[in-house]
Amino acid sequence: MTRLELQLLGALIVLAMISLMAGQFPIPLDVWLRPTDPRFVVLTELRAPRVALALLVGAAMGVSGAALQGYSRNALADPGLLGVSSMAAAGAVVALYFGLTAATPWMLPLGAAAGAALGAAVLMVLAGWSESATTFILAGVILNTVGGAVTALALSLAPGPWAQAEIMNWLMGALTDRSTEEVRLAAPFIVAGCVLMFVVAPALDALTLGETGARALGVSMRRTRWILVAAVALSAGASVAVSGVIGFVGLITPHLLRPYVGARPGALLLPSLMGGALVLLTADTLVRLLPTPAELKLGVVMAIFGAPFFLMVLLRGGVQGR
């Protein structure tokens, strides 16, 4: 591991310990050694799954953003901005609306993965068809619109106000009251998606020479494209299924780390994976510590901080990434 990766790993370990202790009711880590302590249940059933999900979802979003930026050579590529998360949310809402999750909870991440796969496939096709970064971004805007329309349709046809409130509450993005069941549900899909992204890391490096140069080095563009579609679908779909829509992690993290890594997209994947986990875990810990009457939604907080960052990247010429 590089020095940067070791530093990120150390920061993750320290922050995870702080996050386990932090909250309205601080819990010392020595409670881990006292299973009879009433706080042990809170630590293992509420805090630990929440920290685990923050790490998993943040890692998935961070590495997905780095992979999409590397593939498209577009500094604004991100699962949320390009509509992949929105399409994943639409797929999950459809699964919820038709009651598919009542038969098996695995239908929720599968529905989200199907929506994310559709969105990612459209983006990959456009990335190969058009050399225009503007076309790529506009495709993301269209996908966000389609995903939002499907979600709004499900909300308008919901059987009652309780169902509407449940869907709306989930869409705002949060890690509150998650359990080990959600961790078991998301982890296999996220891990599989992240592994697939590292499979295409050499191809992402070759793409810095352009598609012609990459083909000259023996890279199959079709294989790379569809492996990346599957990777983003699995990781982003599972993340949205358990946390709702939490944006901007995949945009912010690669930009923060790229100056320390260099121009190789493949070398940015592992730091972005750890950096995304660090960004989301930091945000979730701060959300729990803020003295607000009700806990703020994590997706709302990330949007508040992510939108100015997006504007800064845009003004600095990030859209000229291709």
Query: In the predicted model, is pLDDT for residue 188 greater than 50?
Result: yes
Would you place residue 61 in the very low, low, confident or very high pLDDT band (cuts 50, 70, 90)? very high
Confidence of residue 134 (pLDDT cuts 50, 70, 90): low
Q: Is 263 exposed, middle or buried (0-12, 13-18, 19+ CB in 10 A)?
A: exposed
Helix (H, G, I), strand (E, B) or coil at 67: helix
H or E stretch covering 100: helix 100-103
* Confidence tier at 280 by pLDDT (50, 70, 90): very high
d(CA 17, CA 28): 10
Q: What pLDDT score does 317 carry?
A: 61
Alpha-carbon 101 to chain mean position: 22
What pLDDT is stored for residue 320 in this prediction?
47
Q: Please write the tens of the pLDDT for every residue from 238-274.
A: 898 889 888 889 988 999 999 999 889 999 999 999 9
Residue 6 scores a pLDDT above 90? yes
* Whether 275 contacts 251, CB under 8 Å: no
Distance separating alpha carbons of residues 71 and 256, to the nearest angstrom: 18
Q: Tens digits of per-residue pLDDT, 43-58?
A: 999 899 999 999 999 9
Q: 3-35+75-320: what CATH class?
A: mainly alpha
Record the tokens describing residue 187, joined without a space: 């982890």
pLDDT at 29: 79
Q: Which two tokens stand for residue 207?
A: 């793409």
Q: Reduced to 3 DSSP states, what percent helix, strand and coil does the chain have, rounded to the nearest 5?
A: 80, 0, 20
Q: Is the pLDDT of residue 130 over 70?
A: no
CB 278 within 8 A of CB 12: yes
From the CB of residue 86, how many other CB atoms can be counted at a distance below 10 Å?
29
Taking residues 163-187, what's their average pLDDT? 83
pLDDT in tens, 70-103: 988 877 788 887 788 889 888 888 887 777 777 7
pLDDT at 321: 44
Q: Kindly report the backbone phi and psi dihedral angles of residue 83, in degrees, each rounded to the nearest multiple of 5, phi listed first.
A: 85, -5
SS3 129: helix
Look-up: residue for tokens 């953003």? Answer: 65
